[in-house]
A and B are shown apart, each in its own frame.
Chain A
Amino acid sequence: MDIQKTPENVVLSLRNVSMSYQARRGRVRAVSNVSFDLHAGETLALIGESGCGKSTLILGLIRQLSKTGVVDAGEVVYRYRDGRDTDILKLSDRQLREFLWRECSMVFQGALNSLNPVLRVSSMVYDTAQAHGMDTKEARDRALSLFEKVRLDPLRVFNAYPHEMSGGMRQRTLLALALLLRPQVVLMDEPTTAVDILTQRSIIEVLKQLRQELNFSVIFISHDLAVAAEIADTIATMYAGEIIEMGPVEEVFYRSRHAYTLGLLEAAPRLSAGSQELNSIPGSPPDLIQPPPGCKFHLRCRFASEECKTIQPTYTPATTISDHIVACHHTDEVLAAR
């Protein structure tokens, strides 16, 4: 899907966003200095190891971090359909409550636990509608048509309790529920991780189709690079709380310029490659309470030189023709190693 990337159709814009958790040992800088623009209709996939800050980032930008987590700095500017801009981080609690789900909704990781076990799906639909002033009849009609779109038996699911549905059904129910109020942005935290491969396929198909019909933007977290490659327009690689490489999906996957992205790709199995070509990245992610100086990846990087140990690389455009940016001192060597 081709999307227009112009400053006019940016729906969500993050500028220098940092988030941290208070731990006994000190502050855990889970997200530092993240900036990016999400355009209308764009799907952005965040990839990276567990603990790199992906989930913190998307929970933090709708202010749903757990009690110990805070957004330390930066702004998250959201543009309403009528062109008004607002900083989500500055909304009052009441404004935030109205903003959530109507403008920006979320599909969570554990489909099995994301629905209240004692309520019917219909109650959850009505609760959501009522909280945002949508009337009952409209909510019901909208929900039924969405259930049909995600290939569920609409009436049956509408009247069902969560435990009466399979994992795949629940995940699709959540997807439909996320679109109930026609949000511009949908955040997805590994929506396909907890389901089997066939269900995963059908959810991806449904998602692609919905995106075409309803035209919303998506920020998508995935450990599965194949899934990310299939549905994303833009890939952002996160390492130790920072976005270290970001660009169009073909650019990042076929012409990776950061050693860490390359490492992730080499660790993923491919049909065309033999098993001996799978390489994991040695070592483990750095301590985020006292992050290493210089490039945070230098301890695990095979390209690391003296300057990587002291000087933190800044974002540089990788090419002149695309908006592929990367923060690495050895982009050319990485590109050549591919």
Chain B
Amino acid sequence: MSALSTPSKILDSPEHDTPDIMKRLQRIWRSYIFRVVMQGILTILAVITFTFFLIRLMPGNPVEIKMTQLMLSQNLTMDEARAMASTMFNYDPNEPVFQQYLNYMAKLLQGDLGRSIVSETPITTLIAGYLPWTLFSVGMGLLISFVLGVTLGILTAYWRGGILDNVVTAIASVLYGIPDYVIALLLIMIGGVQLKLFPLAEMLGGSTPGIEAGFRLDYILDLLFHAILPVSTYVMATVGGWILTMKSSTLATLGEDYITVARARGLPESRLLTAYVGRNAMLPLITRLAISVGIAVSGSVIIEFLFSYPGLGLNLSRAIGQRDYTVMQGIFLVTTIAVVTSNIFADLMLGWLDPRIRLGKEEGE
């Protein structure tokens, strides 16, 4: 009897039997942010697993190669060499694969990415040294490019057919067609070498050698000075795309009924431009923004190389040249995290900008 009566009781009053904490957990479980973040974590796990097995499957197992190298160069016994190699790669080649995987993951969770095969410094230290440069230059380039592109895109669409539209659209189309490394080369060759518009040699690198790092005006100005070339390359390479996409998106939005209605309601042009046209037209660009953050972090290899900018890209190319597998593995991990994080950010932004995307019920009815 009691077994039968319990379910009906639950059916009658589902709220009463659920404790408060459970309800709160349920709400978190259903929330949009939770789902997006969980998805991101799963993606990162999958990529880590994939790179782990990829390294193990590489022809000429890099651990074995390193072991041989160590035995020959430092006169170590095989066991010593194996022990050293396994700390570098973060796993012991003699253990069963699954056990290796678990050990690798456990160390990864503690923030231990192993050591560089070449320089033997911990990978985390290396990455902590390169990453800020890339984040600074790529981030600034993307921000300037996005803001500039969206603003110009919306204005050209708004005054379509005017002088501004013709000029901006023409420039945007040309820029859109040129790859970033060509822009960088043109900057160096024409701006720096032939016309001598700027002191090219002084501008290369991340900062002037000898200047003391710190939160001081001269250092910050020096950083900005050295960032000008890579940042302007990023801006020029991407702004055309933003302008053209935003223009077409704005044109589509301007044709929507709710814009006509808003105009007929006598709304001031400024409100119309931001909340009605701009906000709706920007929605398709947010996803694009996330993708380009990911591409920019890993795709800055050539640009950083050309301007000898000490970021992740320059060091990735160095690591590839030296067959430094562990550093490569670490940089791939960082790139993955960057792509996934920016995707999460894009999802949250989209949810914030577009109520139709919010899935979970965040507010009580």
- Point out residues on A near B: beta carbons under 8 Å: 62, 64, 96-102, 105-106, 108-110, 113-120, 123, 127-128, 131-132, 161, 163, 174, 177
Q: Does B136 contact A (CB under 8 A)?
A: no
A64 touches B263 (CB 8 A): yes
B267 touches A114 (CB 8 A): no
B355 touches A116 (CB 8 A): no
B276 touches A116 (CB 8 A): yes
One digit per residue, 1 when the CB lies within 8 angstroms of any chain A CB and 0 when it does not, for chain B 16-27 equals: 000000000000
Residues of B contacting A105 in the complex (Cβ-Cβ under 8 angstroms)? 264-265
Q: Would you list which residues of chain B between 263 and 289 have a CB under 8 Å from chain A?
A: 263-268, 271, 275-276, 279-280, 283
| Complex CA–CA separation, A117 to B355 (angstroms) | 8
- Smallest beta-carbon distance B170→chain A, Å: 22
| Complex CA–CA separation, A62 to B263 (angstroms) | 11
Given contacts A114-B261, A116-B258, A118-B355, contact A132 B276 (CB under 8 A): no
Residues of A contacting B275 in the complex (Cβ-Cβ under 8 angstroms)? 116, 118-119, 123, 127
B258 touches A131 (CB 8 A): no
Residues of B contacting A118 in the complex (Cβ-Cβ under 8 angstroms)? 275, 279-280, 283, 353-355
**Which 5 pairs, one residue from A and one from B, show the smallest C-beta to C-beta distance?**
A100-B266, A113-B257, A161-B355, A97-B266, A116-B258
Residues of A contacting B261 in the complex (Cβ-Cβ under 8 angstroms)? 106, 108, 114-115, 174
Q: Does B106 contact A (CB under 8 A)?
A: no
Of the candidates B257, B258, B266, B276, the one having the most CB atoms from chain A within 10 angstroms of its own CB is B266
A113 touches B265 (CB 8 A): no
Q: Does B41 contact A (CB under 8 A)?
A: no
A163 touches B264 (CB 8 A): no
Residues of A contacting B262 in the complex (Cβ-Cβ under 8 angstroms)? 116, 127
| Complex CA–CA separation, A115 to B356 (angstroms) | 13
Residues of A contacting B267 in the complex (Cβ-Cβ under 8 angstroms)? 97, 127-128, 131
B271 touches A127 (CB 8 A): yes
B264 touches A99 (CB 8 A): no
Residues of B contacting A106 in the complex (Cβ-Cβ under 8 angstroms)? 261, 264
Residues of B contacting A131 in the complex (Cβ-Cβ under 8 angstroms)? 265-268, 271
- Smallest beta-carbon distance A120→chain B, Å: 8
12 more contacts with CB within 8 A, not counting A108-B261, A116-B275, A127-B267, are A64-B260, A64-B263, A100-B263, A100-B264, A108-B264, A114-B257, A117-B355, A117-B356, A118-B275, A120-B355, A131-B265, A131-B271
A128 touches B265 (CB 8 A): yes
Of the candidates B257, B258, B263, the one having the most CB atoms from chain A within 10 angstroms of its own CB is B258
Residues of A contacting B266 in the complex (Cβ-Cβ under 8 angstroms)? 96-102, 128, 131-132
Residues of A contacting B353 in the complex (Cβ-Cβ under 8 angstroms)? 118
B265 touches A101 (CB 8 A): yes
Q: Does B256 contact A (CB under 8 A)?
A: yes
Residues of A contacting B263 in the complex (Cβ-Cβ under 8 angstroms)? 64, 100
B258 touches A113 (CB 8 A): yes
- Smallest beta-carbon distance A37→chain B, Å: 23
Residues of A contacting B260 in the complex (Cβ-Cβ under 8 angstroms)? 64, 108
Residues of B contacting A174 in the complex (Cβ-Cβ under 8 angstroms)? 261
Given contacts A102-B266, A117-B280, contact A161 B257 (CB under 8 A): no
Can you identify 24 A-B contacts, CB atoms within 8 angstroms? A62-B264, A64-B260, A64-B263, A99-B266, A101-B264, A106-B264, A108-B260, A113-B257, A113-B258, A114-B261, A116-B258, A116-B262, A116-B275, A116-B276, A117-B258, A117-B354, A117-B356, A118-B353, A119-B275, A120-B355, A131-B271, A161-B355, A161-B356, A163-B356
- Smallest beta-carbon distance B212→chain A, Å: 49
| Complex CA–CA separation, A116 to B268 (angstroms) | 15
Residues of B contacting A163 in the complex (Cβ-Cβ under 8 angstroms)? 355-356
Residues of A contacting B356 in the complex (Cβ-Cβ under 8 angstroms)? 117, 161, 163
Of the candidates B257, B265, B276, B353, the one having the most CB atoms from chain A within 10 angstroms of its own CB is B265
A64 touches B264 (CB 8 A): yes
Which one of B258, B264, B271 contacts A115 once the chains associate, using CB atoms below 8 Å? B258
| Complex CA–CA separation, A100 to B262 (angstroms) | 10
| Complex CA–CA separation, A161 to B258 (angstroms) | 14
| Complex CA–CA separation, A117 to B262 (angstroms) | 12
**Taking CB as reference atom, which chain B residue is nearest A115?**
B258
| Complex CA–CA separation, A64 to B258 (angstroms) | 13
| Complex CA–CA separation, A161 to B355 (angstroms) | 7
**Taking CB as reference atom, which chain A residue is nearest B356?**
A163
B268 touches A97 (CB 8 A): yes
Residues of A contacting B271 in the complex (Cβ-Cβ under 8 angstroms)? 127, 131
| Complex CA–CA separation, A109 to B261 (angstroms) | 10
Residues of B contacting A100 in the complex (Cβ-Cβ under 8 angstroms)? 263-266
- Smallest beta-carbon distance B29→chain A, Å: 22
Residues of B contacting A97 in the complex (Cβ-Cβ under 8 angstroms)? 266-268
**Taking CB as reference atom, which chain B residue is nearest A113?**
B257
A114 touches B258 (CB 8 A): yes
**Taking CB as reference atom, which chain B residue is nearest A116?**
B258
| Complex CA–CA separation, A105 to B262 (angstroms) | 11
| Complex CA–CA separation, A120 to B353 (angstroms) | 12
- Smallest beta-carbon distance B118→chain A, Å: 52
One digit per residue, 1 when the CB lies within 8 angstroms of any chain A CB and 0 when it does not, for chain B 234-277 equals: 00000000000000000000001110111111111001000110
| Complex CA–CA separation, A131 to B272 (angstroms) | 11
Residues of B contacting A114 in the complex (Cβ-Cβ under 8 angstroms)? 257-258, 261
| Complex CA–CA separation, A96 to B261 (angstroms) | 14
| Complex CA–CA separation, A127 to B265 (angstroms) | 9
Residues of B contacting A123 in the complex (Cβ-Cβ under 8 angstroms)? 275
A110 touches B265 (CB 8 A): no
Residues of B contacting A116 in the complex (Cβ-Cβ under 8 angstroms)? 258, 262, 275-276, 280
Residues of B contacting A128 in the complex (Cβ-Cβ under 8 angstroms)? 265-267
- Smallest beta-carbon distance A92→chain B, Å: 13
| Complex CA–CA separation, A331 to B262 (angstroms) | 44
| Complex CA–CA separation, A64 to B279 (angstroms) | 22
- Smallest beta-carbon distance A24→chain B, Å: 15
Residues of A contacting B354 in the complex (Cβ-Cβ under 8 angstroms)? 117-118
| Complex CA–CA separation, A320 to B365 (angstroms) | 61
Which one of B257, B268, B355 contacts A110 once the chains associate, using CB atoms below 8 Å? B257
Residues of B contacting A119 in the complex (Cβ-Cβ under 8 angstroms)? 275
Residues of A contacting B355 in the complex (Cβ-Cβ under 8 angstroms)? 117-118, 120, 161, 163
Residues of A contacting B279 in the complex (Cβ-Cβ under 8 angstroms)? 118
| Complex CA–CA separation, A120 to B279 (angstroms) | 13
- Smallest beta-carbon distance B100→chain A, Å: 50
Which one of B257, B268, B283 contacts A108 once the chains associate, using CB atoms below 8 Å? B257
